[in-house]
Amino acid sequence: MRICVIAEGCYPLVPGGVSSWLQELIQQMPQHEFVVWAIGAQEKQRGHFAYQLPPNVVQVLDVYLDSVTHETLHQNPRRYRLTQAQQKAVHDMLSSQNPDWSEIFGLFRDDRLKGVEFLLNRDFFRILKAICGESYPYVGFTDFFWNIRSMFLPLLYLLGCPPPEADLYHSVSAGYAGVLGSMAAGRFHKPYVLTEHGIYTREREEEILRTDWVPPHFKDLWINMFYMFTRCAYQSADRVTSLYLRASQTQQEIGCPTDKCAVIRNGVHIERFSGIPLKEPDGTIDIGAVVRIVPIKDIKTMLYAFSMVSAEMEKVRLHIMGPTDEDEEYYAECLQLQKDLELDNVTFTGRVDVAAYLRRIDFTLLTSISEGQPLAVLEAMAAGRPAVTTNVGCCRELLDGINDGIGQAGLCVPVMHQSELAEAMLTLCRDERMRRQMGENGKRRVAELYGHRQMIEHYLALYDEATASAAKRWMG
């Protein structure tokens, strides 16, 4: 079977938890061919893959959102008028409601239309003026136009990219990837599977609420746009998976039909980590954070909290392990904060062999604002290292379990709470016996519930279910 995986902002362009998960998924299914449809942010990423592609990856189709700025028009662009059904669909889409996506997809089929051309269409302007008058009567039309252009031009550009043909489509997030999965599956009458590691829509909502570049009176429109993208994916998908029960319940609250939902836990190669010996006591406590240096991982709160720990303990070190080039401006801000706080005992290592580096670590740290089921925590648990995490995604479920009788594998604290984070770190720093017991608990929990082979078997079965479901749907 040829499977097209659709990855937004991750594999194979950017390393991280979702990317590593997808690399493992492909490697463990050598009986299938894979096409990777990768959505990147910037054209400069082209050709710079963060992973050695497995031999069963037969094609990479990479598209970049900033490419829309130099998209060329057709030499002789066709003048066209929207049908009534198309006008309604466009109106609903630009209003961030629930459009008839088949009408939207049809506009861009067979390279009939380019995104920039769509914005020059008279019907588009007429519809946009009507929406502005209906919903934003006190906002200048020019401001409204440029806001809508910023919102939808990336989507329109992607819709104009011909999808690769495959036997099954699997997007590893909602958002743009979910819309493309819906379009491709509908065009070729094939099954579509959606996996969410976090809840994409909620993550975008948090970012928009915090950002300064979206005017306050347009924030609801932006947020509703991402909810609209997610509902498109939920409606089109044959199966929708999440990593833990609470996430599945959130998907259903947003609008995913219950009978499509399934929970498939992440899995780790336990044997790769279970044999790593504990660090020999040397008088210094070493804390490790396996994390990308990006705002959603909240490295700044990590540094502030660790400065409190350093004020209480002399012999303690923090190793921040992960790529630094995804958001270079944020990385520079973190380095400046490290300097301002005079944290000479903090090291940004860049990318490392995590399994090898864990030999130096007493316990791990995660300060994310949003997560799904972080592989970094699972891998550390498999190596017998406890963790301090924020209470995001299923971190508390990983550390405390759900009535499994195993016991705690770490400490969970509120998001962005510097003092509680520092206190939790200090608790583990000062109590070696607690660290060892929590490490043993975590190792046992991963061995019983989070094996990699078990995860692969679940996805293989899911592909069969989705294929059967799609066959009935398209034949009916």
* pLDDT by 10s per residue, the chain, length 476: 999 999 999 999 988 888 989 999 999 999 999 999 999 988 888 888 999 999 999 999 999 988 777 666 555 656 678 899 999 999 999 999 899 999 999 988 866 666 677 877 788 899 999 999 999 998 899 999 999 989 998 998 899 888 999 999 999 999 999 999 999 999 999 999 999 988 899 889 988 998 888 999 999 999 999 999 999 999 999 999 999 988 999 999 999 999 999 999 988 889 999 999 999 889 999 999 999 999 999 999 999 999 999 999 999 999 999 999 889 999 999 999 999 999 999 999 998 999 999 999 999 999 999 888 898 999 999 999 999 999 998 999 999 998 889 999 999 999 999 999 999 999 999 999 999 999 999 999 999 999 889 999 999 999 999 999 888 887 76
| pLDDT reported for residue 71 | 63
Q: Which residues contact 231 (CB under 8 A, 6 or more apart)?
A: 98, 254, 255
| pLDDT reported for residue 371 | 86
Strands across the sheet containing 316-321? 346-350, 316-321, 285-290, 363-366, 387-390, 410-413
Asked whether 202 and 223 are in contact (CB, 8 A), the reply is: no
Q: For tokens 């998960």, what's the residue?
A: 21
Q: What is 270-450's CATH number?
A: 3.40.50.2000
Q: How far apart are CA 400 and CA 200, in angstroms?
A: 25
| pLDDT reported for residue 130 | 94
**Where, residue-wise, is CATH 3.40.50.2000 in the chain?**
2-70+163-266+455-475, 270-450
| pLDDT reported for residue 111 | 63
Q: How far apart are CA 11 and CA 57, in angstroms?
A: 12
Give me the count of residues in the chain: 476
Query: Phi, psi at residue 170, to the nearest 5°?
Result: -135, 105
Helix pair 219-236, 141-159: axis angle to 10 deg: 20
* The three-state (H, E, C) secondary structure of the chain, written as one string: CEEEEEEECCCCCCCCHHHHHHHHHHHCCCCCEEEEEEEECCHHHCCCCCCCCCCCEEEEEEEEHHHHHHCCCCCCCCCCCCCHHHHHHHHHHHCCCCCCHHHHHHHCHHHCCCHHHHHCCHHHHHHHHHHHHHHCCCCCHHHHHHHHHHHHHHHHHHHCCCCCCCCEEEECCCHHHHHHHHHHHHHHCCCEEEECCCCHHHHHHHHHHHCCCCCHHHHHHHHHHHHHHHHHHHHHCCEEEECCHHHHHHHHHHCCCHHHEEECCCCECHHHHHCCCCCCCCCCEEEEEECCCCHHHCHHHHHHHHHHHHHHCCCEEEEEECCCCCCHHHHHHHHHHHHHCCCCCEEEEECCCHHHHHHHCCEEEECCCCCCCCHHHHHHHHCCCCEEEECCCCHHHHHHCCCCCCCCCEEEECCCCHHHHHHHHHHHHHCHHHHHHHHHHHHHHHHHHCEHHHHHHHHHHHHHHHHHHHHHHHHC
Q: What are the pLDDT digits (tens) for 324-365?
A: 988 999 999 999 999 999 999 999 999 899 999 999 999 999
The Cα angle at residue 375 between residues 324 and 367, in degrees rounded to 5: 60
**Which among 376, 377, 408, 371 is positioned nearest to 391, based on CA atoms?**
371
Asked whether 319 and 287 are in contact (CB, 8 A), the reply is: yes
Q: Which residues contact 258 (CB under 8 A, 6 or more apart)?
A: 252
Q: How far apart are the first and last CA of the chain?
A: 23
Indicate the fold that domain 2-70+163-266+455-475 takes in CATH.
Answer: Rossmann fold (3.40.50)
**Which among 423, 288, 308, 442 is positioned nearest to 365, based on CA atoms?**
288
Exposure of 185 in the CB half-sphere (CA atoms within 13 A): 35
